[in-house]
Amino acid sequence: MNDDENTARANRVTREDWTSGRDPWHGHVEGLTLGTDATVLFYANETPGQGPKWHVHPYDEIFIIRKGRALYTIGDRKIEANEGDVLLGPRDVPHKFHNLGPGRLETVDIHLNPTWVQTNLDDPELQERLE
């Protein structure tokens, strides 16, 4: 691919096209939209204890904490992450995270796949509490 062909791949997705409308920093851009193999998710919430539930992806995921604090459970590991930290969620390893507070949590999650593929799972911690 020459420089002109490479330059022609440059692309832009406006906020209106990727935001979910719930929050100005909540939504995603699939890699296919940009012609690349990485899908980017923007996640934000104001409520301590709130966050994505137990799920898994068939590809690696990189978590970047832009603001706040979160508790990540990746497989059987618990990691307290702070603003500026970067974590890896390996492919096929179930994970979840929630806002530790106080205040807002913002993350950028890079899914190393051209589309967002997620399987939601029953949370083993909740199952243990019920038994």
Q: How far apart (Å, rounded) are the C-alpha atoms in residues 5 and 74?
A: 40
- Considering only CA atoms, which of 38, 41, 100, 43 is closest in space to residue 73? 100
Considering the domain delimited by 3-130, tell me its CATH architecture: Sandwich (2.60)
What mean pLDDT is reported for the chain? 93
Give the domain ranges of the chain: 3-130
Q: Give pLDDT tens digits for 36-67.
A: 999 999 999 999 999 999 999 999 999 999 99
Chain position carrying tokens 């939504």: 27
For range 83-112, the mean pLDDT:
98
Tokens (6 digits) for 105: 């949590």
Q: Give pLDDT tens digits for 8-39.
A: 888 889 988 899 887 888 999 999 999 999 99
